[in-house]
Structure 1
Amino acid sequence: MLVHPEITPPDNFYHFRDTTDCRDYVVSDIEPIFSASPSVASALSGELDEAGRNTLLSRRFPGGSLKVVAAKAPRNLRRHNVRMLLMDEVDGMAPTAEGSPILLAERRTLSFPDRKIVLGSTPVHEETSHVLRAYAQSDQRIFEVPCPCCGVFAEITWDQITWPAGEPEAARWRCPSCGEEIEERHKPQLVAEGRWRATAPQVQGHAGFRMNALISLHANAAWGKLAAEFVAAKDDPTTLQTFVNTILGQGWRSEGDELDETGMAARAEAFGLALIPAEVLALTVGCDVQHDRLELTYVGWTEAGGMLILGHRVIWGAFDAQETWAELDTLLRERFPHALGGRMAIDATAIDAGDGTSMNVVTGFCRPRTARKIFAIKGAPGNRPVIERAGSKTKTGARLWIVGVDTVKAQLFARLPRVGQVRFSAELPAVWYEQVASERAVVRYSRGQPVRNFERIPGRRAEALDCAVYAFAARQMVNINPEARREDLARVEETPAQRKGPVLQSDWMRRR
């Protein structure tokens, strides 16, 4: 994260991704800061009102003003000329129709010779990070602390945190100069005596600051707790990325741009829908709609979040034929034998309604089946949540859910190559692996800014990848109690042959 040590009025201009972020930030961060400072609270003593000049997102005070605007609309960025510009979480900002929101905002400070621009963010992807690129252009200051043993100043980095095997709670900092291991109890003194040092002092007029959670004095940022968090996260690339981004303040670099279909197929195991493995506690389905068929991928989920690709099915038939959807309804009602002894139902299904031609048919099928967690979804690119409810209903009154396909693909591309993170059924056809590896991650420039997205490899179909994305998104709609689910799956159901009807007693045969 990049910060600036001195922020002074007037004409402050905060720059966020959307209006919701703006309001949340003002309520949770700005207002408490104002209230805690008597001098600031006095200057901002004017009452907030909707019709007057002071609102939650726009305030005037003696000597200046404060405006908080969203980065999504270029109009917001063109309307204001400011001397001081503050931009937060810039790695979550997508290019607008008029180019980079960061550059658009910076242009509004050109008329002020004493302007000040503050840009900060948790970095996300290393190759497209706005904040890392800005830091690389700065004097690149790091925060160093003195070793209590040798007195040499050094930045505390993750590779210097060490602990005995199996005891992450005993983590210490190993001084890179003398090799002594420093206990957590010394951290407050280390930080109090720390200093900033510019590693690129030749750069003038552009200060950059880098810090991580290892120097935080919060109890939850103790080295032992962070080490335990790392041990729990290190085997899952999605949780490891969160650790790298939010704890270490570093950008995430993907292992590769393409998936190895041959390598994934070689890991196939002898399990499937005929008998679902005991560790699977949830089951979701992703359904891709084509004009002449429906394709479904079944994904099982373990308590720890592991994925088991259990099977793939195809329903042949026109997308607008009643028989096609009747067959789908039958398949989605199916209950599968489970290794714990009982049978497992499908917990949630996501069906693609993104094709404008098939949307009405899909939403018409899903609407009466919402109670069974059968959802109509539409994929959307960019930096979005895995799945969220669409802001408004379709023209027919149906409800859509929006799937952040790039977000999900980034997680799948990190998981699929890893042994243990995703397991594959030997029943999957060879074409499934070819289709799931049908795209590659690339960095392209959009309106002058690097954007990481996914592009189709020429000549390949992508139904299996789409199905996997939708099944992944559907998992977010499922909430289970693991112990209760195990008990339920261990309950053996009676077969029709075992069910006996009532026995009627009659003396008719005794009549003479």
Structure 2
Amino acid sequence: MPLDLRVSELVAETASGWFAALRPPPRLSLAEWAEQHARLYDGAVFKPYAYQREILDAMTDPVVERITLMKSARVGYTQMLSAALGYFIAQRPSKIMVVQPTTEDAEDYSKDTIDPLHDWPVLAGLLSEAGAKKKGDTIKRKAFPGGSLKITGANSPRAFRRIDLDVLLFDEIDGYPAVAGKEGDQIALGLKRLTQSLQPLAVLGSTPLLDGESKIADAFAAGTMERYHVPCPHCGAMQPLVWGDGNGAGMRWRNGDPGTAFYVCVNGCPIDESHKLEMLEAGRWVAEQPFKGHRSFHIWSAYCPLPGAAWPKLVAEFLAAKKDREKLQVWTNTVLGETWVDRGEAPDWRRLYDRRETWEPGTVPVGGLFLTVGIDVQRDRIEVSVWAWGRGKESWLIEHRVLMGAPFTDTPWRALSAMLAETWRHEHGTELSISMAAIDAGDGVTMEAVKAWVRNAGPRVMAIKGSSLALAPILGQPSTADVSYRGKKISGGVKLWPVGVSVAKSEFYGFLRLDRPTAESGEPFPAGYVHLPMHAGEETCRQLVGEHRVTRGGKGRKRTTGWEPLRDRVEALDCRNYARAAAARQGLDRMNEAAWAELETTLAPVKLPAPQSIPIRRATRSKWIDD
């Protein structure tokens, strides 16, 4: 080959290499980039699930400025954020900020999530090695060619000052404090930092917490509100997966066994979990609201194809949590990805009315093991509710009675004393008397009349007063209400017990929302279930849900909550709360199985001795009949 031709070829090859080095990387969507370059914690290549792909691609869609993901645990959100960070470091260098709930969380996130990014081959040389430092780098601040990464806490008032951003990733926003010091709402502050970017992106993600206070739920509602629809493998109907309530679509299982878990589609087809992968691959996101620059998604654990989110496992977790209010809240947030409805929201009275049960008035059904009474004193009458209590705080309204007469006269007090001396027949046949009664002494007008009656009512009666504290325990420590003419407390005088009516109402409303088990499930009533008799009429049902919790403040002001009436009369609700306090005095909240078993023994059906068999003399026919 002539020398000049060989030189020309070498020059061409060198120029080609130079141009290749200068050529921008191929334009890839985030899902495509993640499949090629993102890594899991064990070093394996990240293969996005079907429902993750569109969320990832939305992050690099130039017409999308904001993304909200309201999600449960076990849906791969952390890995999606890591993929996004890698993309905006290597593929489209940007000025990035990640906002965690606190500065401590920010440090943990840097160590647990950012440091492993150094092991991704595509990021080699772009980020300083874990444990090493580039000039100016810190745990919460990283620099790379063409951009930077800052990790901060939402509780830091100065976090959003003097900074311009292209990409802003808000993580676990329901864990953020109400405001960032005096600066105001963190999300609003952060979004202002994107105004100078040519291609701004804000991503908000979180497991939701309390309904009415959830930042992620509000953000989700402000976007397209998309849910992932999958086809039924039998009838083809497209639908989002839901937990359900035992009727219609949702998760089902047989005889309390989570191992039998299956899904029922909107047309009633039973679906085994073995179809999950094919359903996910054929699924699509469906929006409920039009797109206006903000896409919002909801996803929960039932979609996850990993063994740790198998349907039987989710059912087992539900069965383990359903009897405990706090555990059920955690399950609702972290498995369903839904807000927990604070039971201060009043249930529908018609629901209570329609689910009433039939038992003989004045009798105590099986399961009720002791009785307490709540007494509300009005200016012209005294109202009394008798409640039965059983395992797991299950309760039955036995009777609600109105005793007419002003409390400044003897008439209603005599009737009240006579009522508390009565007994109520248990379905086992034994007679139950009142274990404890609680009477409201908080009204200054009637307090002295109440105290006068309590002094002579005996040890089974206690005077109570509602506490104004939102988180006061259902029953607190008593104080002496009687004082001498010198103003000194009288030893042995009437004691006044504080009652946390706010907590009692929240608990009661939570119990009222519990669903009765279906005949198909074969399960017992859930702990805390409230049984109402057919003789509890519409007025009683309305009164039981006659108040609701109201939250005021926010947007930089202190949030306060309180209870407000929905109707004029709520005596049945008040009596329930007082009876609950009386039950607390009797040890309802600390009774163990041995204590319940002992109560059951005292109520065991009375066994009458079997009648003795008396020999029956066989009759003989008279001879004259045969003659």
TM-based fold match above 0.5: yes
Q: Is the counterpart of residue 39 in structure 1 residue 115 in structure 2? A: yes
Q: Is the counterpart of residue 303 in structure 1 residue 391 in structure 2? A: yes
Question: Which residue in 1 is equivalent to 2:15?
Answer: none
Question: Which residue in 2 is equivalent to 1:479?
Answer: 590
Question: Which residue in 2 is equivalent to 1:439?
Answer: 546
Within the candidate set 185, 198, 215, 2:303 is matched to 215
Q: Is the counterpart of residue 278 in structure 1 residue 377 in structure 2? A: no
C-alpha distance in structure 1 between counterparts of 2:436 and 2:206, whole Å? 38
Question: Which residue in 2 is equivalent to 1:403?
Answer: 502
Within the candidate set 67, 70, 86, 2:153 is matched to 67
Q: Unpaired segments of 5 or more residues in structure 1?
A: 16-21, 46-58, 70-75, 494-512
What whole-Å deviation, never above 9, does each CA across 1:117-149 have from its counterpart, x for those lacking one? 625343766x99764453243244445679999
What whole-Å deviation, never above 9, does each CA across 1:16-43 have from its counterpart, x for those lacking one? xxxxxx79xx6xx878756645828999
Q: Is the counterpart of residue 456 in structure 1 residue 551 in structure 2? A: no
Question: Which residue in 2 is equivalent to 1:466?
Answer: 574
What whole-Å deviation, never above 9, does each CA across 1:229-266 have from its counterpart, x for those lacking one? 77999999999999877644457999997525995798
Normalised to the residue count of structure 1, the TM-score between the two structures is 0.56
Cα deviation, residue 301, structure 1 = 2.8
C-alpha distance in structure 2 between counterparts of 1:407 and 1:148, whole Å? 42
C-alpha distance in structure 2 between counterparts of 1:43 and 1:410, whole Å? 54
Cα deviation, residue 280, structure 1 = 0.4
Show the 5 A alignment for 1:75-474. Answer: 81=160, 86=170, 88=172, 90=174, 104-113=185-194, 116=202, 118-122=204-208, 131-143=216-228, 156-158=241-243, 159=249, 161=251, 169-173=259-263, 181-184=271-274, 197=285, 199=287, 203=291, 205-216=293-304, 221-226=309-314, 247-249=335-337, 259-260=349-350, 263=353, 269-272=359-362, 276-290=364-378, 295-303=383-391, 306-312=394-400, 338-340=426-428, 376=464, 378=466, 387=473, 401=500, 403-404=502-503, 407-408=506-507, 410-411=509-510, 414=513, 422-424=530-532, 433=540, 436=543, 439=546, 455-457=565-567, 460-472=568-580
Residue identity matched to 1:122: P
Cα deviation, residue 409, structure 1 = 6.0
- Matched-pair contact (CA < 8 Å) for 2:233–2:279: no
Question: Which residue in 2 is equivalent to 1:6?
Answer: 81
- Matched-pair contact (CA < 8 Å) for 2:323–2:392: no
C-alpha distance in structure 2 between counterparts of 1:267 and 1:412, whole Å? 16
Cα deviation, residue 270, structure 1 = 1.9
Cα deviation, residue 112, structure 1 = 0.6
What whole-Å deviation, never above 9, does each CA across 1:172-225 have from its counterpart, x for those lacking one? 357889x794435x65x6699698746479636434221122134676753235
- Matched-pair contact (CA < 8 Å) for 2:173–2:204: no
C-alpha distance in structure 1 between counterparts of 2:158 and 2:379, whole Å? 47
What whole-Å deviation, never above 9, does each CA across 1:32-82 have from its counterpart, x for those lacking one? 75664582899999xxxxxxxxxxxxx98445463354xxxxxx9x77646
C-alpha distance in structure 2 between counterparts of 1:182 and 1:264, whole Å? 34
Cα–Cα, structure 1 residues 303 and 11, in superposed 2: closer, same or farther, change >3 Å? same
Cα–Cα, structure 1 residues 225 and 165, in superposed 2: closer, same or farther, change >3 Å? same
Q: Unpaired segments of 5 or more residues in structure 2?
A: 1-68, 72-76, 86-94, 118-127, 132-137, 143-149, 195-199, 244-248, 482-488, 490-495, 519-524, 605-627
Cα deviation, residue 330, structure 1 = 10
- Matched-pair contact (CA < 8 Å) for 2:502–2:563: no
Residue identity matched to 2:223: S
C-alpha distance in structure 1 between counterparts of 2:70 and 2:500, whole Å? 35
Q: Which secondary structure state, in structure 2, belongs to the residue aligned with residue 134 of structure 1? A: helix
Residue identity matched to 1:112: R
Cα–Cα, structure 1 residues 352 and 404, in superposed 2: closer, same or farther, change >3 Å? farther
Q: Is the counterpart of residue 491 in structure 1 residue 575 in structure 2? A: no
- Matched-pair contact (CA < 8 Å) for 1:233–1:239: yes
Residue identity matched to 1:303: R
Q: Which secondary structure state, in structure 2, belongs to the residue aligned with residue 122 of structure 1? A: coil
Question: Which residue in 1 is equivalent to 2:41?
Answer: none
C-alpha distance in structure 2 between counterparts of 1:202 and 1:175, whole Å? 26
Residue identity matched to 1:404: V
Q: Which secondary structure state, in structure 2, belongs to the residue aligned with residue 468 of structure 1? A: helix
- Matched-pair contact (CA < 8 Å) for 1:86–1:118: yes
Cα–Cα, structure 1 residues 223 and 262, in superposed 2: closer, same or farther, change >3 Å? closer
C-alpha distance in structure 2 between counterparts of 1:417 and 1:154, whole Å? 26
Cα–Cα, structure 1 residues 266 and 104, in superposed 2: closer, same or farther, change >3 Å? closer
Cα–Cα, structure 1 residues 43 and 411, in superposed 2: closer, same or farther, change >3 Å? farther
Percent of paired sites with the same residue: 23
C-alpha distance in structure 2 between counterparts of 1:415 and 1:164, whole Å? 19
Cα deviation, residue 227, structure 1 = 5.1
Question: Which residue in 2 is equivalent to 1:73?
Answer: none
Residue identity matched to 1:286: G
Cα–Cα, structure 1 residues 277 and 213, in superposed 2: closer, same or farther, change >3 Å? same
Cα–Cα, structure 1 residues 36 and 227, in superposed 2: closer, same or farther, change >3 Å? closer
Cα–Cα, structure 1 residues 338 and 193, in superposed 2: closer, same or farther, change >3 Å? same
Cα–Cα, structure 1 residues 355 and 286, in superposed 2: closer, same or farther, change >3 Å? same
Q: Which secondary structure state, in structure 2, belongs to the residue aligned with residue 310 of structure 1? A: strand
Alignment: residue pair count = 443
C-alpha distance in structure 1 between counterparts of 2:380 and 2:535, whole Å? 23
